[in-house]
Structure 1
Amino acid sequence: MAKRLTMQDAKTLSLSSLGGALEFYDFIVFLTFASTLKVLFFPSESELIATVMTYLTYAIAYFVRPLSGVVLAHFGDLIGRKKVFMFSLFMMAIPTLCIGLLPTYESIGYLAPVLLLTMRILQGVALGGEVPSAHVFVTEHVPSNRFGIANSAIAAGLTFGVLIGHFVSTMMSISFSAEETLSYAWRIPFILGGVLGLLAVYLRRYLQETPVFLEMQKKKALHAGTPMKTILKDFRPQAFIATLSTWLLIAGVVLVLLAPNLMKSDMFGMDAGFVNRAALIATFMNIVGSLSAGFLVDRFGLRKTLFSFAVLLAITSFIFFNSLGSHDLSKVGILYAIASFFLGIVACVPMIIIRLFPADIRLTGMGFSYNIGNAIFAGLTTFLVPVVAEVFHPMFIAYYILFLCALGIFLSIYLGKKSLPSYI
């Protein structure tokens, strides 16, 4: 008989999703106020240098993710999931709060950008551990037949953070003038994110250690050596497939972040107000699609769900990008929303990774693969894809998503190999 989620399971899922939501909230807020931060922290006679320094400060958090992810995951496999889970969120909330309280260049000179850079590095340390810990934590708490919906709830939480970030940024633009924002109001979103993060840390105190870890601890079955060495020695094929699967996550970056910029570009010249509304609806549809993918995984299995969503995302996203030349905005908005629903395929990625590693090295396997994959593929996408699309042809973005969908189909087939055991 299939087990249902208990109230304790529901509490675990909701509190586990908060950290991921905060991560992506910070992602949107920093980018939204990048021009303001540039003026306040990186004044320079060269506009190019100021811009580069601002975005390099933003990007530094992603550069330190692989190392911090492996280190935090190592301790999560040896001393407990909950301790690392609490620490990673605390390490994300405090720097976010501090950014909102930092003195600017006008007050303390060059120390201001150094402090901002330091806060971003600390956030990067936290980022490396938060999302992998969340997925492993919920996986080991819920019944195995609810594996899909549990992990998709974490994925939906990440996207919900994007939604909150967009909402807060929109309300800020409505409530404050450009002068007020530059003077003091820019601090509000960061302070809000930090306070919410500390509240989430407090609430996580009531979470329990995972039954899987407690059972390993009781049976003295915890990993005796260094989990990372075991992965590199005995689980190289799994680590490669897990890292490759994170490339699928970049479909979300392309469709949710790059597509709106393309729609507003000189190529298509769509009204910014329409594009912003369409992006909000698309983000919401991605939340619905992620949860739907999780439900289908529990009902029909990971491989079938992954295959189906990959095919349908390929079809709907290609039709959407082809519609951008149309003057029918309603049509464009509807197609964007439908494609974003099937972007729920991103919820399948952590499920692919988790099932590849046994419990005693699961968090290290997840932390290593997830963060290395993000560092490599997110960098390639965010820097190269927009440039190629602008220089050669805007439909390159559509072709890139088709490639990612083909990767999803390949993974759905490869996961069926008998030589690749599943540990879930």
Structure 2
Amino acid sequence: MNIYELFSKTLSPAATLLLEQLRALPRAEDASIWLVGGSVRDLLQGESVRDFDFAFSSDLTPQIKTWARKAGGSWFWLDQQRLQSRVLFSQYGLQFDFSGLRAPDIFADLRLRDFTVNALAFCLGEESELIDPLGGRADLEQGVLRSCGPTVLFDDPLRILKGFRHFAEYGWQIEARTGQEMVRAASDLERVAGERIKSELGRILNSERVVFTLGLLIEYGVLRQLFPTLKEDTLVGKLDSFGARILQLEVFPELKTLLDAQMEDCVPRRALLFFAALLEHLSGPGDILQTFKRLCFSNGSRAILTRLCLGAELLPAMFSDHTSSRAAALKVEAMAPCCIEALLFTLARRDCDDLDSLAAGHITAYLEHETRGEIAHLLDGTTIMDLTGLKPGQGIGLWQDRIKSAEIAGEITDRQTALDWLKVRFCD
């Protein structure tokens, strides 16, 4: 199959043009550039590709930098020693990664890769037929995940998780020999950087096959290597129910948008909730906190996970369909910290969906009224000081919080009733 036929069928006009420009880069006769790996795999599956990986036989970095500048992209190094660089075209949502060959030729380079479905290449030149030294295309068509060799998983143990992520995202079955290699190499995961593990787990936990994949991770002994104190016997059943409730919440477009939102790289809010549900099965708070550190979560994600794993569960019975939009928003705000995540987590752990619609309405109201994570007070500090004679710092914030509580209770409905309420309560 000719690569340029695939371009015309699956890629955007912008991507096709940029690839044609790369094909025309000036270079020596013995210098070649290949499209490799997952980019080729996705093209063969008819998927729309946005991230492209390239390998070159001799250093083409100067030509790539010139091309990026002229084409309106942003070039930067990923690893200068290995000649790895990246070009971003944010205006098109496209990413191009480049690196030198890791072996004497493209065939040997592909054999060093993780799985046969990723050991594929097309040369950007006149010879544009598929390069497939390990039968990756046949494995792709049959849905089989096969390692490129007996040592590749030991070379980079993160590839074990990448294999399970491929199962989670595509449903590819793990070939028996490859499964045995995963079991043997699993203990080496301890030498993999935590942020890399977190990214792969984040994609697994965000997939439709999350529960099936976690079951396989337990079966192959991988989850035990990552979380030694995990209580595996109850995990799959609990997360199966949790995942089913997440699907029920996604029926509401506003909730699905929140669940899809990226909290950090490769970790959308949905995956973060699954992380919390998973970490609850560790033996104690100390293990949970140590896991936060090991996986290099951002400060924001740590705060959310701490709230979900170690905080008290919410009681959403306070929801009512007979309440104003602002009062509904204040009810959600009162669940702070991390009120959105805490509410979604609580709902996902319930056995029934009787409150889902009300909760979706309350969350929508909160998002309409909040600014920078807070709902504005009906009375500012100056107004309260003028009315009460209090000085700055003399409990102004406490009175504002009491006013919000009175709004939730229905005692206050607007600014005027807030003023009247404050006059009476302050005199008392």
- Higher Rg: 2
State the TM bucket, normalised to the shorter chain: under 0.3
Higher relative contact order (CA 8 A, sep 6+): 1
Taking structure 2 as the reference length, the TM-score comes to: 0.24
Taking structure 1 as the reference length, the TM-score comes to: 0.24
